[in-house]
Amino acid sequence: MKNMNSRNKIAIVGLGYVGLPLALAFAKKFKVLGFDINKKRIDSLKLGIDYNNEFKKNILTKNLNLNFSNTSASLKSHNIFIITAPTPLTKGNRPDLEPLIKATKIVAKHMKKNSIVIFESTVYPGVTEEVCIPLIEKISKFKINKTFFCGYSPERINPGDKKRTLTKIKKIVSASNKKTLKKLILLYKSIISAGVYSVDSIKVAEAAKVIENTQRDLNIAFINELSFIFKKLKINTREVLKAASTKWNFLNFEPGLVGGHCVSVDPYYLTYKSKKIGYNPKIILSGRKVNNKVSRFICEESIKEMKKKSIKLKSAKILIGGLTFKKDCSDFRNTKVLDIYNILKKKVHKVDIYDPLVSSSEVLSKHNIDTIRKPSNNFYDGLILAVDHTRFKKKGIKYFKNFLKKKSFIFDVKGMFKLDESDLSL
């Protein structure tokens, strides 16, 4: 490839759901170092174990172009750095840029002259040029567009999606100058079969990413609010949506829990920046307010149903099916299922979580919750199917009914199964 040959050595900084697929894809074309400060993560990957369950052992170990390290000195021999650090929220729902800043500092200490640093972390418009680039200049003593160059290409990874994988999703690319932009277009084109879409400004690329998730959050919030209304009107929400979707321009969204590290986070990033520049947005966080109510709504409806069926709350045992923030992935960061668990724990005798996709030890370590490997038969007074994992669908509703007592309730949050009229759904 012109201007982007195989002599380039790429370092992927951060090996989570975004970084690892990137490292594997680029290693088919270039020498790649997968770097992460988490020694446990690196040790596992060296053994061919991906505890996110995205990649199998043979994929992780057969590529001779790919090496893993948690030693920052190993970055010194590389000239292209792609930073995929997480961008979470503080407890006060403000942007937490600390992981991104930490990763940027590590790269700045070890980069050499004429390196290219690319950011993929989701941020509000301005972070790359106002926070990251000045930090690199301060630490490395290099100057932007003179002795180092920068790019921003927002990640669009969809965890658990086996169809729309990294290479099949069009990549937005931006850079600090036109020459670098041309290089990055060639770089990403080498692995992205769906192609790239270049923009003239890093801020445009940052904004495009943050509004993708904000738009989705608002659309789902609208459907969730309709669900609240239709529940009071005793109308089946999904039947309404099916009817409405017969019109060509009706947007297909479904009610449900909205958590995770993107959709439930990015609206706060955008509003933070908006308020900084003197505009207090009226619509963006209204979606968050609605979506944050869904867990409590599910709990309140479940409690109403228990009282209706004369199930005593003090002795009631509830089974929650699914813990992850979305179907078919093992990621439980910012999952709203935890809100359901915590609310019900204060109301009923016992709450168990069953999700074969999550690491029980990680859940115990991070949330002090013992997830169960297999629910007991005829044991539970209620079942809340919170996540629509494909393996849950394959097992069928009869499988789950085995765990319930004769007098019990089912709340199928995502409408996986065709249930009795007496059962609950959003």
Q: What is the pLDDT of residues 178-228, one digit of tens each?
A: 999 999 999 999 999 999 999 999 999 999 999 999 999 999 999 999 999
Q: What is the pLDDT of residue 1?
A: 43
pLDDT tens figures, 52-107: 888 889 889 888 899 999 999 999 999 999 999 999 999 999 999 999 999 999 99
Report, as an integer, the average pLDDT of 411-420. Answer: 88
pLDDT tens figures, 2-24: 456 667 899 999 999 999 999 99
Q: Are 321 and 355 in contact (CB under 8 A)?
A: yes
Judged on CB neighbours under 10 Å (0-12, 13-18, 19+), 342 is middle
What gap in Å lies between CA 183 and CA 207, rounded to an integer?
Answer: 22
What gap in Å lies between CA 241 and CA 107, rounded to an integer?
Answer: 49
Buried b (16+ CB within 10 A) or exposed e, 91-100: eebebbbebb
* Torsion angles phi and psi, residue 261, rounded to 5: -100, 10
Report, as an integer, the average pLDDT of 236-250. Answer: 95
What is Dmax (Cα atoms) for the chain? 74
Q: What is the pLDDT of residue 422?
A: 59
Q: What is the pLDDT of residue 267?
A: 96
Q: What is the DSSP letter of 383?
A: E
> Which one has a higher pLDDT value, 420 or 143?
143
Q: What is the pLDDT of residue 421?
A: 62
Q: What is the pLDDT of residue 5?
A: 63
Q: Which conformational region is residue 240 in: left (phi greater than 0), alpha (psi within -120 to 50 degrees), or beta? A: alpha
Q: How many CB atoms lie within 10 A of CB 316?
A: 21
Buried b (16+ CB within 10 A) or exposed e, 390-408: eebeeeebeebeebbeeeb
| Residues recognised as catalytic | 262
Q: What is the pLDDT of residue 160?
A: 77
Strand partners for 12? 34, 82
> Which one has a higher pLDDT value, 159 or 309?
309
What gap in Å lies between CA 294 and CA 275, rounded to an integer?
Answer: 26
Residues 6 or more apart in contact with residue 47 via CB below 8 angstroms? 57
Residue from 358, 296, 293 nearest 321 by CA: 358
* Torsion angles phi and psi, residue 209, rounded to 5: -65, -45
* Strand 80-83 relative to strand 66-69, pairing: unpaired
Strand partners for 144? 148
Q: Within 13 Å and on the Cβ side, how many CA atoms surround 47?
A: 9
Read off the tokens for 51.
Answer: 């505890």
- The reported pTM is 0.93
What gap in Å lies between CA 349 and CA 315, rounded to an integer?
Answer: 5
Report, as an integer, the average pLDDT of 243-258. Answer: 96
What gap in Å lies between CA 351 and CA 348, rounded to an integer?
Answer: 7
Q: What is the DSSP letter of 271?
A: H
Q: What is the pLDDT of residue 163?
A: 87
Q: How confident is the model at residue 420 (pLDDT cuts 50, 70, 90)?
A: confident
